[in-house]
Amino acid sequence: MVRIKQRYLLVEIIWKDAGVDKKLNSQIIFNSIRQSIQYHFGEFGNAKYLERLAIKYLSPLKNLTIIRCARKNLREVWSSITFLRQINTRECICRVLHTSGTILSCQKQAIKYSEDSLLITTMKLLFIQNQNQNQNQNQNQNKNQIENENQNENQNENQNQNQNQNQNQNQIENQIENQNQNQNQNQNQNQN
């Protein structure tokens, strides 16, 4: 058996508006790629480079797509993607993040890229907000409140621990014959 050689391209679309269009189909992107192949490589290229060309995955929220093409036509299909200037009358940049022979490694890379981009943006926003808070004078007031709360919590915990220890000691010492003497001693200890 001979496997059919093909390549998968992971493409990110960067819009000029930086907005989200939920009506994006895979067919709209396929048609725009086919038009750019027709424009740059002519009738013959349109016949040749459309072999095995398909769009396997599209998420309009994250602006990521996975495109399949034949391996021998990789360079021409890739360059026709970079020549794209607009999709559905919106200006955009198409940027290839990863190429691979199997769709699985493309999927891994897409998950990794989207996780990283989410993490970085949220962490930076938090970082800048913290910086702005530190500049204000509210920082000292917040600190004092937190310290007071911590002290109260520590006191409560110590009291609970002492009560538990006394209960355990009582249970063990009840087994001993001389109950009265020990109980008196415990009471003295508790008073101390």
Partner 1 sequence: MFCDLYLKYNPKNKKQMEKLIAMAIKLNYDCVAFNQNFTGKITEKSTFEPIILNEKKDQENSTKKISTLRLISDGKKGFKQLSRMTYIPSSNNDFVYLNRSSQILETFDIVAIEPKTKVFFDKCCEISYIDIITFDLNEKIDFQLSYKQIKQAIRNGIFFEIRYSSLLGETQIRRKAMNNILNIIKYTKGKNIIFSSGTSSLMELRGPYDIMNLGTLFDLPFEKGKLSISKNCESAISHGYLRKTFNGIVEQKNIEEIDEKEKWELGEQNLNLNQNSNQNSNQNTNQNENMEIEKQK
Residues of the shown chain interacting with partner 1 in the complex, contacts defined by CB under 8 A: 14, 16, 75-76, 78-79, 82-83, 85, 91-93, 95-96, 120-121, 124-125, 127-129, 132, 135-136
Q: How far apart are CB 34 and partner 1 at their closest, in Å?
A: 18
CB nearer to partner 1: give 54 or 96. 96
CB closer to partner 1 out of 39 and 162 = 39
Q: Are 64 and 113 in contact (CB under 8 A)?
A: yes
Alpha helices (H) along 49-102: 74-82
Kindly tell me which of 58 and 81 has the beta carbon lying closer to partner 1.
81
Sign of the Cα torsion 115, 116, 118, 124 reads positive
Separation of first and last alpha carbons in the chain = 88
Query: What one-character DSSP code corresponds to residue 60?
Result: T
Nearer to partner 1, 99 or 182 (CB): 99
Give the angle 68-105-23 at the CA atoms, nearest 5°: 50
Query: Minimal distance in Å, beta carbon 132 to partner 1?
Result: 6
**Beta carbon of residue 128, minimum distance to partner 1 (angstroms, whole number):** 6
